[in-house]
Structure formats: C-alpha cells, structure tokens
Amino acid sequence: MSTQTSGVINFKKVDDIINSCGAKKSNLIAILQKVQDEFRYLPQDAITYIGTKIDELSPATVYGVATFYAQFSLEPKGKYEVKCCDGTACHVRGSMPVYTYLTQRFNLQEGKYTSDDGLFSVETVSCLGACGLAPVVVINGKVYPQMTTDAIKIIIDTIIAEENEG
C-alpha cells in the first residue's frame, strides 16, 4: 500500500475493477470509467497502477488516454456534478448566462472547475441530446429542462439547503 501524504487510494478497489473488466487494453476506457465512478476522479496513482498492471500498456499510455477524453478528470469532482449543456440548441436559447451564473456563484475560472467546499463542480458539455428542452442542465444525472438564471439559482439553493439540513 502506498504511503503518500495526499490521499492514499484503495488499490484493492482498482484491482477489483481491472479484474471485473478484464485486464486487456481494449477494456482500458471501461476500466478508467469505473475507477472514476469509484473515486470521482482519476487519481495519479491509479493511472500509474493500471499502466503497470496491464501488460500491453504503460503508465504514459494510460495517462494519454485519460487526458484525451473529456469525461475523465484528473482532479476531484464535486459531490454534485453540474453539466451545462452548450450544444447548438442550448447555446442559441441562452445556455451561457446559466453557465456564467454558476461559475460566478462558485467562484470558478479557467482551470478551476470545483467549488472550494468541494460540493459542486461545473462544466460545459456539448449536447446531451435533449435539445427539445433547451437550455438543459444536468446535475448528477438528473436533467433539468428550460433553464434560466433564476431557475438554476433556486435549484442550487435547494441543494445547499438540503446539504445543510442533512
């Protein structure tokens, strides 16, 4: 077990994931997806570990794949993952004001996607395929249709209120 100071990860979990998917290069993306589900991001150690564990791969290759796909994050995501759709339909119907509201509220900027309390991470995604309901925001898999700055404010307020109660 690694004895790093910053967040020791559970390698047993990574092992289980590799075994359940099959230790093959063609399963790499699926493995990374499951690791990210487990840790809410891809810890550096996990990347190195997968790269040494699967014969056909090196840590550099795994890192290359992990940084290529938009879905993977090398830094921890928030407890609530907010995805603002900025597909064409959402864009022309005003997705940017909603996104700007969120970044301002959580004090985010280029390179910083997670709020300081670790509760929210905000990103734009290109088209969730719910264009009929534009603009759309998805929070932890739940789709919120026809968003406005007022509507998203209420949703975020509600989540924070629930968090404070719980």
Partner 1 sequence: METEVKKLDIDIEQERQKAVELIKKQGLRVLVCNGTGCIANGSNEVMEKFRELGADVSILSEHDKMTTVPTGCHGFCEQGVLVIIPDFDITYVKVKPDDVEEIVNSHIKDGKAVERLLYTDPKTGNHVYKNEEINFYAKQTRTSLKNCGEINAECIDEAIAVGGYRALAKVLEQNNPEAVIEEIEKSGLRGRGGGGFPTGRKWRFTAANRGGKSYVVCNGDEGDPGAFMDRSVMEGDPHKLLEGMAIAGFAIGADEAYIYVRAEYPLAIKRLRIAIKQAEEKGFLGKNIMGSGFNFDIHIKEGAGAFVCGEETALIASIEGERGMPRPKPPFPANCGLFGRPTLINNVETLANVPAIIDTGAQWFSSFGTETSKGTKTFALTGEVNNTGLIEVPMGTTLREIVFDIGGGIRNGKKFKAVQIGGPSGGCLTEEHLDLPMDYDNLIKAGAMVGSGGLVVMNEDTCIVEVARFFMHFTQNESCGKCVPCREGTKNMLKILEKIVRGQGEMKDLDTLEELALAVKEGSLCGLGKTAPNPVLSTLKYFRDEYIAHIKDKRCPAGVCTALKVIKINEELCKGCTKCARNCPVGAIEGTVKNPHKINQEKCIKCGACISACPFKAISQA
Contacts to partner 1 by CB under 8 A: 24-30, 32-33, 64-65, 68-72, 86-93, 125-134, 136, 141-145
Q: Closest approach of Cβ 91 to partner 1, in Å?
A: 6
Q: C-alpha 124: how far from its chain's center?
A: 11
Closest by alpha carbon to 149, among 109, 82, 101, 96? 101
CB atoms within 10 A of CB 144: 17
Q: C-alpha 114: how far from its chain's center?
A: 10
Q: Closest approach of Cβ 106 to partner 1, in Å?
A: 17
Q: Closest approach of Cβ 132 to partner 1, in Å?
A: 3
Q: Are strands 137-139 and 142-144 parallel, antiparallel or unpaired?
A: antiparallel
Q: Closest approach of Cβ 135 to partner 1, in Å?
A: 11
Q: Residue 5 or residue 26: which is nearer to partner 1 going by CB?
A: 26
Q: CA-CA distances (angstroms) from residue 71 to 9, 36, 76, 81, 92?
A: 20, 9, 13, 12, 24
Q: Residue 137 or residue 156: which is nearer to partner 1 going by CB?
A: 137
The upper half-sphere exposure of residue 129, i.e. CA atoms within 13 Å in the direction of its Cβ, equals 0
Q: Closest approach of Cβ 94 to partner 1, in Å?
A: 10
Cα distance between the two ends of the chain: 34
Please give the Cα distance from 130 to 111 (Å, whole number).
27
Q: Residue 45 or residue 123: which is nearer to partner 1 going by CB?
A: 123
Q: Residue 8 or residue 74: which is nearer to partner 1 going by CB?
A: 74
Q: Residue 7 or residue 64: which is nearer to partner 1 going by CB?
A: 64
